[in-house]
Amino acid sequence: MGSVGAIVGKGDLIRKINFPKYIIIFAVLVGAMINLSLTAVVVVIFMIIGHVSVSWQALLLIPLLLELILIALTAAFFLSASFVRYRDMSYVWEVIIQAAFYATPILYPLTRIPHVYAKILILNPFAQVVQDSRYVLITHSTQTISTVYNGDRWIWAIPIGLTLILAIVTSTYFRRRSHSFAEEV
């Protein structure tokens, strides 16, 4: 949400100084990563208090976090560039975020969804990251994308590939639109 109005919020700066506009988005992303780090410290404290055993597989959380950061960066590039021209984008994004929250198995286990729909839902990059994070940190009984697809180890390439394609498309869109930011903000 912080990236939606990031470019418009820095409109005075953009009009006065010529600099790469993506730095604004990276600044918002770094702020979100600091927030995530502080939250992770609290989670680790509760894991220690709750005597949760952590194995070496917890290191697999690093690529999952990198994937999550890339997903957030992808959304940030698109939203910030779109909001410059379409100011109602923030309201639309709030609705999309609300729907995405309930479409991602955060509050409910993936096993509560019929298998046919779970196969579609797990292709969502957010759902894949959430489920894989649960598998790595909490319990191995959590369904991951490979278990939903009966052990197909290469199925994870779909959400990662989707994320990479969207990252390329949105960064290109941002780069093309960034030349006119000073006039439109």
Instruction: Decide if pLDDT at 37 tops 90.
Output: yes
End-to-end CA distance of the chain: give it in Å, rounded.
18
Q: How confident is the model at residue 171 (pLDDT cuts 50, 70, 90)?
A: very high
- Supply the pLDDT for residue 39: 94
Confirm whether 137 is domain-assigned.
yes
Domains in the chain: how many in total? 1
Model pLDDT for residues 120-163, shown as the tens digit of each residue = 999 999 999 999 998 988 888 888 888 889 888 788 899 999 99
Confirm whether 118 is domain-assigned.
yes
C-alpha dihedral sign at 157, 64, 81, 181? negative
Confirm whether 72 is domain-assigned.
yes
Confirm whether 1 is domain-assigned.
no
CA triplet 66, 38, 101: central angle to 5 degrees? 60
For residue 157, report the phi and psi dihedrals to the nearest 5 degrees: -65, -25
Lowest mean pLDDT among 7-16, 29-38, 56-65, 162-171: 7-16
pTM, two decimal places: 0.84
Confirm whether 185 is domain-assigned.
no
Burial of 8 (0-12, 13-18, 19+ CB in 10 A): middle
Domain membership of residue 170 as a residue range: 6-180
| pLDDT-above-90 percentage for the chain | 36
Query: What number of CA atoms fall less than 13 Å from residue 31's CA on the CB side?
Result: 11
> How does the average pLDDT of the chain come out, rounded?
88
